[in-house]
Copies of this chain bind each other. A is one copy, B any other.
Amino acid sequence: MTDASQDPLVIFTPSGRRGRFASGTPVLTAARALGVDLDSVCGGRGICSRCQIQPAFGAFDKHGVVSEPGALTAWNGVEQRYKDRRGLAEGRRLGCQACITGDVVIDVPPESQVHRQIVRKRAEARSITLDPALRLHFVEVDEPDMHHPSGDLERLRAALAAQWGVEGAEAPLPVLQRLQKVLREGEWKVTVAVHTAHEGAVPRILDLWPGLRERPVWGAAVDLGSTTIACHLADLQTGELGASSGVMNPQIRFGEDLMSRVSYAMMNPGGAAEMTRAARAALRGLMAEVAQQAGAAPEDILEAVIVCNPVMHHLVLGIDPVELGWAPFALATSDAVSLGAAELDLGIHPQGRVQFLPCIAGHVGADAAAVALSESPQTSDDLVLVVDVGTNAEILLGDRTQVLACSSPTGPAFEGAQISSGQRAASGAIERVRIDPVTREPRFRVIGQDMWSDEPGFDGTAVTGICGSGIIEVIAEMRLAGIVDVDGAVGSPDAVGSSRCVPDGRTFAYVLHDATATGGPRVTVTQGDVRAIQLAKAALTAGAQLLMDRRGVEKVDRVVLAGAFGAHISPLHALVLGMIPDCPVAKVTSAGNAAGTGARIALLDRGARAEIAQVVRRIEKIETAVEPKFQAHFVDAMALPNKSMPYPELRKAATLPDLKFETASGGGGGEGRRRRRRG
């Protein structure tokens, strides 16, 4: 017997774990024995290179060890062959081949860690731990023995259990049908895709390939909005983003907002099924597109996480949304839904899995749950209002003591629809606007050009319209410049003192850009445009107000603007419009597509799925449609910024002219009341 205290000492960084191992122990074996997070797909066969490590040599006072160049064995044939064929960065070794022969310090680089953290830029955001439900395992399977007969599947299962600790894996019929051929093609060495929904769940074999699968397996994180559908494709083994894309939701042709789609389903036999087909076709197209972007086939996508509001949730699942059209707004199911991709006809891997995050209430969906996952109000020390701006806005208010949630049907105005010159955020769209408060002359920037419209070289003929963030800025600037008044009325040329205000029927419009002289476009902001934005933002603010009432507060500490175009909204302009409650401008931040991010977190981290199920259960839901105070808040919020709330923080940052034009049309509250009906 040798004296184990004389065995070489191994110290792993960054974990700091250490232990003594017999000379000749592979680094991967030592790492596993110490619980060091070192990846491997091939299980130590020197072919997947996921267990790359970096030995550090020298005297390490901190660790009390001297690590000498000879502390690891020389390159063996397997390792050398890997380096020759595939290459290995300077200083790197394969952890499964290099063996310990002396005291050594070994660094595990981030990309070799199984449960590595994916860094997110914003400090307050939840970090992502890579812990996907879908894992690849390379196994060597025993060959059949006539005298001890057992099925190929049973021997594959035994290999998964013995080599990877995956116990009791189940195989669906299509896998069983492929199994024998693949095992023989791979000469009893195969890579198996195993999906384990959560710790303790029955592992499910989704597919297998001969030998070591080198191509990535992909996961799709989908934010299925009323107006737009966004998708991110992530490598399920590394978490790396492979592609992102978005399309318009083709259901728009059945109704621009959710309630008009529910009405369509109620009024037209087969209407719900028609919308289901449309949504699934769009998802299928999007999946094919992101796969192509990533240089993959749709079948390489093995998992998808979908977040959406309850109406989209029911429609895409093929559940008639009729019950969401009237009180008590009963969901068919509120918990997370897990099913096969083939059931939704997504066109991805036929055994692929789809996970819908849980809904919070009849009008507060999995998208709000995803926003909670991304923005984590439930762990915030200060009181945060998270507003996910879209055709249906999801609103969360809370801190670690309590989180409240509601949704508000803002309509598609913020996404550029219902706006006379509105368009998607694409090349040619005006996205930034400034209006001189003295001359009332505008300058702006369009997507696709670096300079402002008043700078030399600007191409005015390339302007095509205004996108969502542009319309918010231009109306806010019009309010600051005295072109629209507190009620949202656009002033006449005389009242404003600018020839850019022009008659438009019985009302007035502001000419933002006119290139008609050179055959170019003319972009105006009409009274109707202002009304559309007023209605949308009043719904948003009224929802936020209800949550603040319930919480018993008159102000919030900070506001997070989220949504497909949330990142592009100027905080100051959002405050000028009164889209959000008053708050110091510096405390208004953008989170980008938080729902999409939440979907991506749930895709990459099984633990997050369990976490969100807990959070959703604790969230307190407010049903705006039946709250009597919603109407009063809505009417007050039609004003710019608000009729009853003074917005002192905003007024520290900007001066709002105290202005009211004489007009025939009034404030538009009645119009708003009509739009509010849900059932």
Contact = CB atoms under 8 A, between A and B. Distances in A.
Nearest to A343: B173
Nearest to A334: B151
A274 B177 CA distance: 15
A180 B323 contact: yes
| Interface core residue of A176, A180, A319, A320 (most chain B CB under 10 Å) | A180
Interface string A622-654: 010010000000000000000000000000000
A175 to B, nearest CB: 10
A331 B152 contact: yes
A149 B360 contact: yes
| Interface core residue of A179, A332, A334, A361 (most chain B CB under 10 Å) | A332
Contacts of A143: 328
B339 A153 contact: no
Given A146-B623, A147-B623, A332 B180 contact: yes
A154 interface: yes
A157 B335 CA distance: 11
B329 A179 contact: no
A335 B330 CA distance: 42
Given A146-B327, A146-B328, A318-B173, A333 B181 contact: no
| Interface core residue of A151, A171, A322 (most chain B CB under 10 Å) | A151
Interface in A118-152: 143-147, 149-152
Contact of A362 (B146, B153, B332, B343): B146
B320 A176 contact: no
A535 interface: no
Given A149-B360, A361-B149, A332 B176 contact: yes
Nearest to A358: B151
A116 B330 CA distance: 41
A357 interface: no
A280 interface: no
A474 B623 CA distance: 84
Nearest to A329: B146
Given A173-B343, A330-B152, A331-B151, A180 B320 contact: yes
B176 A333 contact: yes
A621 interface: yes
A59 interface: no
Contacts of A173: 317-318, 337, 339, 343
A359 interface: yes
A662 to B, nearest CB: 44
Contacts of A337: 173, 176
Contact of A151 (B152, B153, B177, B332): B332
A322 B179 CA distance: 13
Nearest to A321: B180
Contacts of A621: 149
A192 to B, nearest CB: 15
Interface string A163-191: 00000000111001101110000000000
A152 B337 CA distance: 13
B179 A332 contact: yes
Interface in A300-347: 317-320, 322-323, 327-335, 337, 339, 343
Contact of A320 (B145, B181, B317, B329): B181
Nearest to A156: B333
Interface residues of A, number: 44
A173 B359 CA distance: 16
Given A328-B146, A361-B149, A177 B319 contact: yes
B333 A149 contact: no
Contacts of A151: 330-335, 359
A330 B333 CA distance: 44
Given A149-B360, A623-B147, A177 B331 contact: no
A61 B60 CA distance: 91
Contacts of A362: 146, 149
A394 to B, nearest CB: 15
A272 to B, nearest CB: 10
A322 to B, nearest CB: 8
A153 B335 contact: yes
Contact of A176 (B149, B153, B319, B623): B319
A173 B343 CA distance: 8
Nearest to A625: B146
Contacts of A149: 328-329, 331, 334, 360-362, 621, 623
Contacts of A360: 149
Contacts of A320: 177, 180-181
Nearest to A617: B150
| Interface core residue of A176, A360, A621 (most chain B CB under 10 Å) | A176
B328 A177 contact: no
Nearest to A155: B330
A66 to B, nearest CB: 55
A343 B172 CA distance: 10
A323 B626 CA distance: 65
A180 B331 CA distance: 8
B144 A330 contact: yes
Contacts of A626: 146
B177 A334 contact: no
Interface of A: 143-147, 149-154, 171-173, 176-177, 179-181, 317-320, 322-323, 327-335, 337, 339, 343, 359-362, 621, 623, 626
Given A150-B334, A152-B331, A152-B332, 13 more contacts: A144-B330, A146-B362, A151-B331, A152-B323, A152-B330, A154-B333, A176-B317, A176-B332, A176-B337, A177-B317, A177-B318, A177-B320, A177-B332
5 contacts: A151-B331, A153-B334, A173-B337, A177-B319, A180-B322
